[in-house]
C-alpha cells in the first residue's frame, strides 16, 4: 500500500545517482509507492546541489519525477516540528532525523525506509527498515 511506506532522503539520492550500486533497489522501492515530506525534499536538494554538484535544472527535473511517482510531499508543520523535538530528546536522535520520523508518523506510515536510523527501531506503530542492509 503506497501510504504505508515513508522514504528517507538516502533512498531518493540512490535512485537518482548514476553508478550507485543501490540505485536499482531504490528505484524499485520508489516505483512501489510511498510518501515523503518536505524535509526529505529539502535534504535531497541540498545533497544534489552540494555533494553531487547538480545544476538547478537537474534538481528541478528530479523533483518533478519524484512528485509524479510519489505525489506531493507532505508539509512540514509546527505540530511535526514539536513532535520532532520530543523524539530527538527522548530517543537521542539528531533533530533532522527526528523531523523525518515525526513526518512519517504524521503521515500514518508503518515503515520508514532509511539507512540513517537503526534497522528495526520502533516509534509506536512506525518501524525503521534499512532496505540496503547486507
* Residue of higher predicted confidence among 134 and 57: 57
Distance CA 76, CA 49 (A): 21
What residue spans define the domains of the chain?
2-129
pTM of the model: 0.93
Say whether 129 sits in a helix, a strand or coil.
strand
Tell me: pLDDT of 80 over 60.
Answer: yes
pLDDT tens, residue by residue, 15-70: 999 889 999 999 999 999 999 999 999 999 999 999 999 999 999 999 999 999 99
Query: How far is residue 122's CA from residue 120's CA, in Å, rounded to a whole number?
Result: 6
pLDDT computed for residue 3 by the predictor: 67
Q: How many other C-beta atoms can be found within 10 angstroms of the C-beta atom of residue 7?
A: 28
Kindly state the average pLDDT of the residues 88-112. Answer: 97
Average pLDDT across the chain, whole number: 95
pLDDT reported for residue 134: 72
Look up the CATH superfamily of 2-129: 5'-nuclease (3.40.50.1010)
- First-to-last alpha carbon distance for the chain, in angstroms, is 25
Amino acid at each position: 500500500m503506497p501510504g504505508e511506506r515513508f522514504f528517507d532522503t538516502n533512498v531518493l539520492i540512490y535512485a537518482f545517482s548514476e553508478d550507485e550500486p543501490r540505485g536499482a533497489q531504490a528505484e524499485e522501492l520508489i516505483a512501489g509507492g510511498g510518501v515523503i515530506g518536505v524535509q526529505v525534499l529539502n535534504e535531497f536538494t541540498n545533497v544534489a546541489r552540494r555533494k553531487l554538484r547538480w545544476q538547478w535544472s537537474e534538481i528541478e527535473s528530479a523533483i518533478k519525477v519524484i512528485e509524479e511517482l510519489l505525489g506531493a510531499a507532505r508539509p512540514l508543520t509546527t505540530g511535526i516540528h514539536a513532535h520532532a523535538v520530543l523524539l530527538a530528546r527522548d530517543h537521542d536522535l539528531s533533530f533532522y532525523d527526528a523531523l523525518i520520523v515525526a513526518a512519517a508518523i504524521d503521515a500514518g506510515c508503518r515503515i520508514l525506509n532509511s539507512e540513517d536510523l537503526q534497522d528495526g527501531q520502533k516509534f509506536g506503530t512506525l518501524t525503521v527498515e534499512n532496505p540496503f542492509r547486507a
